[in-house]
Structure 1
């Protein structure tokens, strides 16, 4: 067994999606490996051109679990620019940035719904070896999250497959960008993989 930990380092913005100012960048997804299923939902980070931002420490761990030899951690991430406030989006304040009172228990409920949707998708395949796309799809169509995601700008999507074998420390970057259309954006998300 190999202990695998995947954690966010930071996100760097070269160009925001919003043409009038800062974006509110957040991630949704899930990772599965061994007996561990980890839902991913970060609260929005206000970020502007030429800024580098870190994630909240309790949301930076994307995955941590023991993986049998020869197996992988699978799943994926979708990155969004929040355009419409969510009642799960700012779990550490009594009011959101728009001055609206928020039921913070909904953040935890939403994470549980994502985990449940992922587990259900894996069970439906009849195998723990579900493909990364199945896991990512389940995470972003979970009850209570899909409608809110439709209101925001999808910046990018990536499927992940992280082997239990490899270097003890590894950094990877996910480039999220588009140059087509009226609005363009350019982000780099950096994450670290630790194997022990």
Structure 2
């Protein structure tokens, strides 16, 4: 067995989606592996051009658990700029609902048999519990498959950007996350 931990390091903004000021950056998703299902939802981080921000410590760990050798955790993340107000008072219930929805969706298959995109789709649909996500700006989507084998510590960067035009509804972000194996 390999102890695997995936945690957010920070998000760097080169260019916000909003042209009038800071974005409210947050993540929705889920990860599954080794009998563990983890729904992911971060509360918004107010971030402006040329800023680097960390996530709340209690929301930075995306996954932690023991994974059989040779297996992977699967799932993914979607990043949003919050434009429509959410009821963040329901945060705890929303995370539970995301985790429960993912568990239900993969109940008929092994986590190894579940597709990362399926896990991510279920997580995002369940997150709609806090408000209509389709009113927020989708900044990027990434499917993740992280193997239990690899270096003891590595950092990966997820770049999400939309460029062009005259700056209206463009953005450029890099999210850094760390993978630890022991």
TM range (shorter): over 0.9
The answer to whether the 8 Å contact 1:173/1:190 transfers is: yes
Which residue is 2:18 aligned to?
18
- Supply the distance in 2 between the matched residues of 1:156 and 1:5 (Cα, whole angstroms): 23
Shift of residue 128 of structure 1? Answer: 2.0
- Supply the distance in 2 between the matched residues of 1:128 and 1:191 (Cα, whole angstroms): 22
Shift of residue 180 of structure 1? Answer: 4.3
The answer to whether the 8 Å contact 1:133/1:159 transfers is: yes
Distance 1:28 1:195, change over 3 A: same
Is residue 133 of structure 2 the alignment partner of residue 153 of structure 1? no
Distance 1:176 1:143, change over 3 A: closer
- Supply the distance in 1 between the matched residues of 2:22 and 2:75 (Cα, whole angstroms): 29
Which residue is 1:183 aligned to?
169
- Supply the distance in 2 between the matched residues of 1:145 and 1:132 (Cα, whole angstroms): 21
Which residue is 1:54 aligned to?
54
Which residue is 1:36 aligned to?
36
Shift of residue 145 of structure 1? Answer: 3.1
- Supply the distance in 1 between the matched residues of 2:63 and 2:122 (Cα, whole angstroms): 17
- Supply the distance in 1 between the matched residues of 2:4 and 2:164 (Cα, whole angstroms): 37
Q: What secondary structure, in the 3-state scheme, does the structure 2 residue paired with 1:145 have? A: helix
Which residue is 2:111 aligned to?
128
- Supply the distance in 2 between the matched residues of 1:28 and 1:5 (Cα, whole angstroms): 18
Which residue is 1:114 aligned to?
98
Where structure 1 has 5 or more consecutive residues not aligned to the other structure, the ranges are 89-103
- Supply the distance in 1 between the matched residues of 2:98 and 2:138 (Cα, whole angstroms): 18
The count of corresponding residues between Structure 1 and Structure 2 is: 179
TM-score between the two structures when normalised by the length of structure 1: 0.88
TM-score between the two structures when normalised by the length of structure 2: 0.94
Misfit runs of 4+, over 2 Å: 143-147
Q: What secondary structure, in the 3-state scheme, does the structure 2 residue paired with 1:85 have? A: coil
